[in-house]
Amino acid sequence: MNGAAGQLPGLLVCLRATLQRELLLVLRRPGDMLNPLFFFAMVCTLFPLAMGPSEEQLAFAAPGVLWVAALLAMLLSLNSLFLSDHADGSLEQLLASPQPLVVLALGKTVAHWLTSGLPLVLLSPALAMAFRLPAGTIWVLMSALTLGTVSLSLLGSVGAALTVGLHRGTALLSLLILPLAMPVLIFGARTVSLSAAGDTYSMGLFALAAYAVGALSLAPFATAAALRISNE
Amino acid sequence: MSNTLSAHKLTLVRGERCLFKGLNFALGSGELLLLEGRNGSGKTSLLKAIIGLLELETGEFQWNGMPVRSQRQEFLSASVWMAHRVGMKPDLTASENLSFESTLRPLNNCDIEEALERLGVLRLKKLPLRSLSAGQQRRVGLARMLIARATLWLMDEPFTNLDREGRDLLTGIISDHIEAGGLCVLAAHQDVAVDVPTQRILLE
Amino acid sequence: MWTFLHKLASPPHFFSYAKGLIPWFAWPGYALLIYGSFAGLFLAPMDYQQKDAYRIIYLHVPAAYLSMMAYVIMAVAGGIGLIWRMKLAHAVAASAAPIGASFTFLALATGSIWGRPMWGTWWEWGDPRLMSELILLFLYIGYMALRGAIDDTAKADKASAVLALVGAVNIPVIHFSVEWWSSLHQGPTLVRAGGPAMDTSMLYPLLAMILGATLVFVSLLLRRVRSEVLQREQRTRWVKALVLSPKGGR
């Protein structure tokens, strides 16, 4: 089984088990993963309906539209990150375990990205083509979305941990996270529109990557601290 | 090896209410501490404070004579907490839940199947927890105590939802644990008939 | 040293000495503000490019500076409260938020009024400074919303401290991203007031306004912290004794 009896299982064992547990849970309830994805597609559809079907206008607005929709879809899925664990008492068990909470929080956040960020990235080329984005821009969009959604998952996990167990937590989560997420939106959408216009966009990708690295190294600690506070 | 859990001048405040002030106790290997008191008297809060979920206003816990604060990981490795809620995922099966739990703390020699067998729920191991009755879920939750190599058991109303046979079974499990040199802090509003050295704290 | 600091931070002690401190900040602060606004509005020469419109900087610059200062105070106080479990620090953080939000709003309003004659519009999307201030206002709103949503004060203190710290780490990034965002489009490029080539007759009133506003800010903060402390400690013996004393706590 997991290491020798009597010793605390290693961090990687624990991280892998957390990931496995979360993915299994999503498999049992695929709606949790699919709903934000459908939401993403639907929000993207709203814009052509609202703006009219002019291809030129749509292609111009596409980077912004895709990014705003992705941001909102991530926000929607973040709400449930710690909610069910809090409701069934398993979060308290995680807090009472000798394993570092940072590792458990990181595991849950990685699982969140795999089940909500990654599907958005994979769906985005289809929407990009529908919006008539140039073919060369699509991989830029995908890499920007990958880096951006990683940051959003990490940043959002802090907000989700702060608001878990509060009434009206959903609206509050958006209030907390949206202003913090603005750099990601700016870098992400701008990178894609620069690339679509044929300008140099590497600066935006670097900034997104730097943000993701920063978030990866800081956010899990803030999430762990916030979880302890929320469960007092 | 013998272990001790002691509390020194604990004061715990929840919101505006002071639950207890200047509380002391000392518990050694092979002893049971019963927390008694009516609903809302702070039994659950005291257990949560021991496991570190609630911050004390003043005072400290010591594990083997050293402050818990300075050795949190060692202390948590030696403890396991049975909360009022089972604390497992209803969508996962008993064995999936327990195999995740087994990565959370040091393990005993007792594996998951043995633990479920002893609690009489082995045949339910492939069913999602939500399809089990409340008493059966509690039995699965108790398996957590059996697979962990923990000397300190913290139990919050463990007899809830258990039938007579289940209560007898649990009483036996607790006395086995204590006779093997374990410690147990148990919160209950009904009397517990465990034949081991017992201390009582009545919370007002 | 530590016992001295500890005593300084104890709520009843703070409550009594802060009262004596307030006038020392308030009076010089208001005096400087009166001098600064008189000199700024009447004595300082007109700007040859912006005419009289530039004079709003005497309000805008102190407000913008204090809006960020208050956030820093909030985050640092929250951090101190988290690490050293100092109750007074949390009271400071809680009190700094509404004051900071008001200054942020003032900075936005004056910036927008200034923009009307300069850009011909109340709101110029391309201006990075106004945009940063707006996001800062959103950060304050989120902070206060989180505080308001948690009933337990101790929990609200800690949760909002984590949020303020995350926000403080993000503010430079937000600022940088907004700068980059606005540099990409050809907006109206006007030299903002406060450049290096500012005449001393314009500069001194501005410095007086900044210093005066800071002093007034400190006095407001102390005032708020005092009432915050009183409210938080309402169940304690010293507050009861204070209220029952002949002077009635004043």
Q: Do A40 and A73 meet the contact criterion of CB atoms below 8 Å apart?
A: yes
Name subunits touching C (3+ CB pairs < 8 A).
A, B
Q: Which residue of A has its CA nearest to C137?
A: A179
Cβ contact (<8 Å) for B15 and C152?
A: yes
What integer pLDDT is reported at residue C126 of this predicted model?
75
Interface test with C, best of B55, B57, B58, B69 (most C CBs within 10 A): B55
Owner of token pair 């008191």: B37
Cβ contact (<8 Å) for A172 and C169?
A: no
Instruction: For residue A186, give how far its alpha carbon lies from the nearest alpha carbon of chain C (Å).
Output: 7
Write out the E strands in chain A: none
Minimal Cβ distance to A180: which of C141, C162, C170: C170
A19 in contact with chain C, both atoms CB, cutoff 8 A: no
The 3-class secondary structure across chain C, one letter per residue, is CHHHHHHHCCHHHHHHHHHHHHHHHHHHHHHHHHHHHHHHHHHCCCECCCEHHHHHHHHHHHHHHHHHHHHHHHHHHHHHHHHHCCHHHHHHHHHHHHHHHHHHHHHHHHHHHHHHHHHCCCCCCCCHHHHHHHHHHHHHHHHHHHHHHCCCHHHHHHHHHHHHHHHHHHHHHHHHHHHHHHHCCCCCCCCCCCCCCCCHHHHHHHHHHHHHHHHHHHHHHHHHHHHHHHHHCCCCHHHHHHHHCCCCCC
Q: Do A145 and C105 meet the contact criterion of CB atoms below 8 Å apart?
A: no
What integer pLDDT is reported at residue B1 of this predicted model?
66
Residue A150 corresponds to which tokens in the numbers above? 């990683």
Q: Do B146 and B118 meet the contact criterion of CB atoms below 8 Å apart?
A: yes
Q: Which residue of A has its CA nearest to B56?
A: A232
Cβ contact (<8 Å) for B16 and C235?
A: yes
Partners of residue A158 in chain C, C-beta under 8 Å: 162-163, 166
Segment A136-143 shows an average pLDDT of 93
**Residue B28 forms beta bridges with which residues?**
B4
Residue A51 corresponds to which tokens in the numbers above? 């703006």
Interface test with A, best of B97, B103, B130, B138 (most A CBs within 10 A): B103
Segment C178-188 shows an average pLDDT of 69
Partners of residue C152 in chain B, C-beta under 8 Å: 15
CA contacts within 13 A on the Cβ side of C52: 3
User: pLDDT tens digit string along B63-117?
Assistant: 999 999 999 999 999 999 999 899 999 999 999 999 999 999 998 888 899 999 9
Minimal Cβ distance to A2: which of B88, B102, B108: B102
Cβ contact (<8 Å) for C235 and B15?
A: no
What is the domain partition of chain C in residue ranges? 22-186+196-244
Cβ contact (<8 Å) for C138 and A226?
A: no
Minimal Cβ distance to B105: which of A8, A21, A228: A8
3-state secondary structure of B163: coil
What integer pLDDT is reported at residue A157 of this predicted model?
96
Cβ contact (<8 Å) for B15 and C151?
A: yes
Name subunits touching A (3+ CB pairs < 8 A).
B, C
Burial of B24 (C-beta count, 10 Å sphere; 0-12/13-18/19+): exposed
Q: Residue C111: pLDDT above 50? A: yes
Interface test with A, best of C173, C176, C184 (most A CBs within 10 A): C173
Stated pTM of the model: 0.90
Cβ partners under 8 Å of residue A108, min gap 6: A18, A22, A81, A82, A157
Q: First and final CA of chain A: distance in angstroms? A: 33
CA A109 to chain centre: 8
Partners of residue A207 in chain C, C-beta under 8 Å: 176-177, 180
Residue B108 corresponds to which tokens in the numbers above? 């005993």
Of the two residues C241 and A92, the one the predictor is more confident about is: A92
Q: Do C96 and C77 meet the contact criterion of CB atoms below 8 Å apart?
A: yes
Q: In what order do the strands lie in the sheet with B58-63?
A: B17-28, B4-14, B58-63, B66-67
Partners of residue A169 in chain C, C-beta under 8 Å: 149
Partners of residue C151 in chain B, C-beta under 8 Å: 15
Cβ partners under 8 Å of residue C232, min gap 6: C11, C87, C91, C153
User: pLDDT tens digit string along A110-123?
Assistant: 999 999 999 999 99
Cβ contact (<8 Å) for A88 and B96?
A: no
Partners of residue B73 in chain A, C-beta under 8 Å: 8, 98
Name subunits touching B (3+ CB pairs < 8 A).
A, C
What integer pLDDT is reported at residue B50 of this predicted model?
94
**Chain B contacts to C (CB-CB under 8 A):** 15-16
Q: Please count the residue pairs, one from chain A and one from chain B, whose beta carbons lie less than 8 angstroms apart.
A: 103
Cβ contact (<8 Å) for A89 and B83?
A: yes
Tell me the residues of chain A between 106 and 165 that have a Cβ less than 8 Å away from chain C.
Answer: 155, 158, 162-163
Segment C101-118 shows an average pLDDT of 90
Q: What is the largest CA-CA distance in chain C?
A: 67
A229 in contact with chain B, both atoms CB, cutoff 8 A: no
User: pLDDT tens digit string along A7-58?
Assistant: 888 899 999 999 999 999 999 989 888 999 999 999 999 988 998 888 888 8
Residues in chain B predicted with pLDDT less than 50, given as ranges, are none
Q: Predicted confidence band at C5 (pLDDT cuts at 50, 70, 90)?
A: confident
Partners of residue B15 in chain C, C-beta under 8 Å: 151-152
Partners of residue B16 in chain C, C-beta under 8 Å: 235
Residue A74 is inside which H or E element, if any?
helix A55-78
Q: Give me the interface pTM, i.e. the ipTM.
A: 0.91
Q: How far apart are CA A222 and CA A230, in angstroms?
A: 12
Cβ partners under 8 Å of residue A202, min gap 6: none
What integer pLDDT is reported at residue B111 of this predicted model?
86
Cβ contact (<8 Å) for B51 and A96?
A: yes
What integer pLDDT is reported at residue C193 of this predicted model?
47
Q: Do A227 and A82 meet the contact criterion of CB atoms below 8 Å apart?
A: yes
Cβ partners under 8 Å of residue B70, min gap 6: none
What integer pLDDT is reported at residue C179 of this predicted model?
86
Burial of C79 (C-beta count, 10 Å sphere; 0-12/13-18/19+): middle
Segment A70-74 shows an average pLDDT of 95
Cβ contact (<8 Å) for C166 and A166?
A: no
Q: In what order do the strands lie in the sheet with B183-187?
A: B79-82, B152-156, B183-187, B31-36, B198-202
What integer pLDDT is reported at residue A176 of this predicted model?
94
Q: Please count the residue pairs, one from chain A and one from chain C, whose beta carbons lie less than 8 angstroms apart.
A: 85
Instruction: For residue A226, give how far its alpha carbon lies from the nearest alpha carbon of chain C (Å).
Output: 6
Instruction: For residue A116, give how far its alpha carbon lies from the nearest alpha carbon of chain C (Å).
Output: 23
Q: Residue A3: pLDDT above 90? A: no
User: pLDDT tens digit string along A195-216?
Assistant: 988 888 889 999 999 999 999 9
Q: Which residue of A has its CA nearest to C83?
A: A225
Minimal Cβ distance to A222: which of C166, C173, C176: C166
3-state secondary structure of B4: strand
Q: Residue A1: pLDDT above 50? A: no
